[in-house]
Amino acid sequence: MDGQGPGDGDLVRSARRGDLGAFEMLVERYQRRATAVSYRLLSNREDAMDVVQDSFLKAFDKLDTLTQPGRFGPWLMRIVSNLSLNFRRSRALRRTDTLDNPDEDFAHGRDSQPDSSMPEPSEQVSAKEVGKLLDQAIRRLPEMQRQALVLFSIEKLPQKEVAEMLGCSVEAIKWHVFSARKKLKEQFKDML
C-alpha cells in the first residue's frame, strides 16, 4: 500500500459484503476523476454531475459483475464514459427535433444566423477564447477519437487502461489520439 488506505480490490470485496462505508471510500477516491471525464465529454457541469451520480449507482448495482476488483477505477471510468456519451446522444436527438422545425426556432427567438462573436482565425484571441474554441473542437471529433484524446491526453490515464475502457487495442488508442491531435492542429494552425 502507498499509505492511502485499503486498495480498490479490498474496498470492492467489502462493499460486496454490504459495507456501505467501503463503497463510500471508492466514491470519494474516484468522484473527482469521474466528474472530470464526464465534463470533458459533455461540456456541462450539471449534466456531468448527474451522469457521475448515475454512474456510481450503476457501479454499485453491478459491483458483483466486476471480475477484477482491483480494476475498479478503469471499470468505473468506462461506465462514466458510456453514460456520458449516451446522455450526449439523447441531448443531440432533442436538439435535432428543434432543427427539424426552424419556424419554432424563430418563434422562440433563436436566430439561425452565423455567430458573429466567433473570431476569425487570423485574429488574436485570448487564452480563454482559445480554451472555449478547443472545447468546441474536441466535441466535434468522432466519438472514439474524442474519448481516447480526453482519457489519455487530458485525464492522463495510461494507454492500456484507456484501451480496456474503450474495448480496443493500445494501437487503436494511439491511432485515435494521433488522429484527434492532427485534426485539432489543422483547425488551430492559423492561431498558432
Contact indicator for 164, 68 with CB cutoff of 8 Å: no
- pLDDT for the residue 11: 96
Give the separation between CA 78 and CA 99, rounded to whole angstroms. Answer: 31
- pLDDT for the residue 192: 56
Question: Mean pLDDT across the stretch 63-68?
Answer: 94
Domains of the chain: 1-109 (1.10.1740.10), 122-192 (1.10.10.10)
Contact indicator for 38, 48 with CB cutoff of 8 Å: yes
**Residue 127 pLDDT more than 80?**
no
Give the percent of the chain with pLDDT over 90.
37
Nearest to 59 by CA among 85, 77, 86, 32: 77
> Residue 174: CB partners within 8 Å, gap ≥ 6?
159
Nearest to 74 by CA among 149, 82, 13: 82
- pLDDT for the residue 89: 79
**Band (156; pLDDT cuts 50, 70, 90):** confident
Contact indicator for 146, 152 with CB cutoff of 8 Å: no
- pLDDT for the residue 21: 93
Least confident segment among 2-16, 105-119, 157-171? 105-119
- pLDDT for the residue 186: 85
- pLDDT for the residue 50: 93
pLDDT, mean over the chain: 81
**Band (125; pLDDT cuts 50, 70, 90):** low
- pLDDT for the residue 57: 93
Residues 69-124: tens digit of each pLDDT: 999 999 999 899 889 988 887 876 666 544 554 444 444 444 444 444 454 554 45
- pLDDT for the residue 96: 53
- pLDDT for the residue 7: 94
Give the separation between CA 104 and CA 97, rounded to whole angstroms. Answer: 10
Give the separation between CA 192 and CA 189, rounded to whole angstroms. Answer: 5
**Residue 48 pLDDT more than 60?**
yes
